[in-house]
Amino acid sequence: WSEKVWRKSKEEPLVPIGVLATTGALTMAILSFRKRQSWNMQYWMRARVAAQAFTVGAMCVYYYSRSPGEVEKTRHLDEASAKREQRENKDRQEFLTRLKGAENQWKAD
């Protein structure tokens, strides 16, 4: 999943920036709340709402600006990634089975 996140972040860099801005504003609001600075907390909560609106807008622009062919291409890449992961898991299980058999044979000898 990390490859998918990295690829999508490269495709649309405004979304991760908006997520970071939203998280930062929320963190600052929580810190202001703990310091009992209500005026500062209100400022950061408003900044969080603005950053969140920016993020949602960036996601909508990204989604609606793609052509249907691009959507299918992305879906195909996601399916290919899932198939590769399933194949890797199957190979890993087969390897562990062979390893266990070899260990049992070694103990028997």
What is the amino acid identity at position 29? A
Half-sphere exposure (Cβ direction) of 99: Cα atoms closer than 13 Å: 6
* pLDDT over threshold 80, residue 97: yes
Residues 4-23 have pLDDT tens digits of 888 888 888 898 999 999 99
Helix/strand/coil for 67: coil
How many C-beta neighbours within 10 Å does residue 31 have? 13
Q: What mean pLDDT is reported for the chain?
A: 87
Task: Report the length, in residues, of the chain.
Answer: 109
pLDDT in tens, 27-54: 999 999 999 999 999 999 999 999 999 9
Domain assignments of the chain as residue spans, ordered by start: 1-66, 68-108
